[in-house]
Amino acid sequence: MEFRDRLGQRLVRCIIGLAVFAVGISMQMNANIGAPPWDVFHQGVAKQTGISVGRIIVLTGFVLLFFWIPLRQRPGLGTILNALEIGLVADIALAVIPEPTNIFIRVAMALVGIVVVAIGSGLYIGSALGPGPRDGLMTGLAQHGIPIRVGRTVIEVTVLIVGFVLGGQVGVATVAFAFGVGPLVHFFLPRLAISSGSARP
């Protein structure tokens, strides 16, 4: 019973965190001064295919899971939720969140969006239910001798370039996200994570 209670708490936290994360990236995309690197890719593919950004996020997540197989990574419940929920919520949020014309409001919205992404990351990572498809790809490469900082940089620069070529939006907020989200997640994660005692399987 105790385990089920802990699992329920972790599951709720994961679901809330993923929704918050999706709202954060949607805020940055609708600010129209540059999307996060992966979302530049999602925007570019969406532009070329006519499929919504949210559906592209979902499709990309599940395609990346196939790359986990040779890396011998095992998805958790949080991995599947990540692949599904972020894209579904993003489609709703992108339709609801306004696209301001005032540059100061756009800058503020993008910056707040980065903080919201970090809070969402702290909640869903802190639930300890498994990494997202993109993070698991990087940790899998790390287990095969490629440092996370190298793997993450190569992957994110690659998707950024491909997304830009396909028509995704690169701007100052893209740079702000790249440099700001890591320290912010580092700040929020220990404050939002379930303690190891309560998150133990």
What predicted TM-score, i.e. pTM, was given to this entire model? 0.90
Residue-level pLDDT at 196: 54
Confidence of residue 200 (pLDDT cuts 50, 70, 90): very low
Q: What percent of the chain has pLDDT over 70?
A: 94
Contact 106, 178 (CB under 8 A): no
Scored b (16 or more CB within 10 A) or e, 9-44 reads ebeebbbebbbbbbbbbbbbbbbbbbbbbbbbbbbb
pLDDT digits (tens, 9 = 90+) for 159-197: 999 999 999 999 999 999 999 998 999 999 999 988 654
Residue-level pLDDT at 138: 82
User: Could you tell me how far CA 67 lies from the centroid of its own chain?
Assistant: 18
From CA 142, how far away is CA 110, in angstroms rounded? 31
Position 80 pLDDT exceeds 50: yes
Contact 107, 33 (CB under 8 A): yes
Q: What is the pLDDT averaged over residues 97-111?
A: 97
Q: What is the pLDDT averaged over residues 22-42?
A: 97
Contact 66, 148 (CB under 8 A): no
- HSE, side-chain direction, 13 A CA sphere, residue 192: 24
Residue-level pLDDT at 77: 94
Domain chopping of the chain, boundaries: 2-194
Contact 183, 118 (CB under 8 A): no
Confidence of residue 49 (pLDDT cuts 50, 70, 90): very high
Mean pLDDT of the chain: 91
